[in-house]
Amino acid sequence: MNDKSNFDVLLTNGWDRVSYNVLRRLAKSGLRVAFGVDKYSGMGVYSNLIQHNFTYTAYNDSEDKFIIDVVNFIKKNNVNVYIPTGEEIIIVAKHIDKFKDLNTRIPISHYTTLSKLHYKSESYHLAKSLNIPIPATIIPNSFKDIKNFGDTVGYPLVFKNFFSTSAKGVFYLVEERLHETIDELLYKQNLNFGKFLIQQFVHGEGYGVSMLLNKGKVIASFTHKRLREKKNTGGPSTLRVSTKNDVLEKYAKILLTSQNFTGIAMVEFRFNEEKQQSWFIEVNPRFWGSVGLAINSGVDFPNMLYDLAIGKEIKFNGNYSLGIKYKWLLGDIYVNCKNFIKTFKFTHIKNIFEKVDGFDDFYSDDKLPFFMLIFLYVKRIFKGYYKIKKK
């Protein structure tokens, strides 16, 4: 450990509940945490646990400037461990040579490994090669390919941009509007044929298997089941519960160990409980939205990742609390209000007030970040952040 460091840990992508939960756990362990955000700020900036925050160039605006900003901060502050908490992990890995002269540990896998797991076209090919079940999948080169595929496997179909995350770029296709919907999606997503997947729709519950590995060796594992999701096409869960699933845990281990993976990852599956049938959906080779559930169920991924980075021995016996329910409060209010407006069923209003064990984004000992996140969402909307940008 670098005793001369000003900060034990630097976190980036400090916008949302993911980095906020990582910040909470590390700071409560007594570590000195620096928190990086782009110009749109982030909820963790307003936490009473934060020691320091700094603003960098958004990596979506300029990869090079983002890397320069982070490297300069590390140089100036002698950061001991740097943990990218979101999609920027791909960019950091891509430019990892820029960090080689710094006395800073970055516990992530190589760029080629992260890319193979992150990009859907590659991760599906990998899963299939390892005999991990996947939904029937094609990469269409024409509308005719999609029509023939739908006539074979049935409808609805699932459209997925290669680079989609959190259900962004994921859509359902029905036969009646197939051609029209494909035309709309290609325009809105700025895509051409050969740059997206079409999949068979599979019936099953959503599960996530999260793991920490060091050079292909599994150190810790945690499984959750999704009970409610923000969108009907999947994406982030708004309510989930800690559980176990030996079948999915085996597949996740096969997938990640095959790549000699180092770091944190969550592998998503669909699992038909009645038929005991499973399908691989995607990999997030980084921290995930419901990491707060894992932490509060007894799997301290943030501190274990820090310990991995500094070479400290990690002892984890595989046990954690089962049946713990955690909710993404803001997301759950949104989805239930939206569903109530569509159906006028008061069940959706009751869902908002159901009893859970805790929240991803609201903690009674640190309330301000939740309310500031609402303000920051509104600010982003007015700034046009969520508008689709055409290349």
Among residues 324, 386, 302, 318, the alpha carbon closest in space to that of 84 is found at 302
- Report the top-level CATH class of 1-106+363-391: alpha beta
- In contact, 88 and 62? CB cutoff 8 Å: no
Model confidence at 390, pLDDT cuts 50, 70, 90, reads very low
Q: Percent of the chain scored above 90 by pLDDT?
A: 85
Q: What is the pLDDT of residue 254?
A: 98
Tell me the CA end-to-end span of the chain in Å, nearest whole number.
44
Q: In the chain, what are the domain boundaries? A: 1-106+363-391, 109-134+203-360, 136-200
| Number of Cβ atoms within 10 Å of the Cβ of 228 | 18
CATH number of 109-134+203-360: 3.30.470.20
Q: pTM score, two decimals? A: 0.92
Q: Which of the two residues, 3 and 384, has the higher pLDDT score?
A: 384
Beta bridge partners of residue 12, listed in sequence order: 84
Q: For 274-327, write each residue's pLDDT tens digit.
A: 999 999 999 999 999 999 999 999 999 999 999 999 999 998 999 999 999 999
Fold of the domain built from segment(s) 136-200: Dna Ligase; domain 1 (3.30.1490)
Q: What is the pLDDT of residue 163?
A: 75
Q: Flag whether pLDDT at 164 surpasses 70.
A: no
Q: What DSSP line would sit under 67-111, residue for residue? A: HHHHHHHHHHHT-SEEEE-STHHHHHHHTGGGGTTSS-B-----H
| Number of Cβ atoms within 10 Å of the Cβ of 246 | 8
Model confidence at 173, pLDDT cuts 50, 70, 90, reads very high
Helix (H/G/I), strand (E/B), else coil: 160: strand
Tokens of 256: 């990640």
| Number of Cβ atoms within 10 Å of the Cβ of 297 | 23
The Cα 135–Cα 372 span in angstroms is 40
Q: What is the pLDDT of residue 232?
A: 66
| Number of Cβ atoms within 10 Å of the Cβ of 307 | 18
CA 188, distance to chain mean position in Å, is: 23
Tokens of 282: 């995607």
Q: What is the pLDDT of residue 234?
A: 61
Q: Which residue has the tokens 């890995």?
A: 93
Tokens of 55: 């603003």
